[in-house]
Amino acid sequence: MIPDEKTIKSRSMSVYKTLSNALRCTFDELQNQCKLGTTELCLSIARLMQEHKIRQEREGDNVYYMLAY
């Protein structure tokens, strides 16, 4: 079941706070720190990227998420 907009927003803020305390994180690191399932984290990342609050970069075989300044 897909979470409602209010839940996605709340979880997005959790992801944003985690990234504000770290230089960058992989998907797995975010998932472990935020205690979110795959779907919840994907929706949170998508929301934050649409709002231009975070960005992603590929380095080698890894994708990192970080705040967009």
**Residues in contact with 52: Cβ distance below 8 Å, sequence separation at least 6, in sequence order:** 68
What CATH number is associated with residue 53?
1.10.10.10
Number of domains forming the structure of the chain: 1
Distances in Å between the Cα of 13 and the Cα atoms of 29, 36, 39, 56 are 16, 12, 16, 17
pLDDT score recorded for residue 69: 81
The whole-angstrom separation of Cα 23 and Cα 58 is 14
> Containing domain of residue 10, as a range?
5-67
Residue given tokens 């979880």 in the structure block = 11
Confidence band of 2 (pLDDT split at 50, 70, 90) = confident
> Does residue 1 surpass a pLDDT of 80?
no
Confidence band of 3 (pLDDT split at 50, 70, 90) = confident
pLDDT tens per residue, range 9-60: 999 999 999 999 998 999 999 999 999 999 999 999 999 999 999 999 999 9
pLDDT score recorded for residue 43: 96
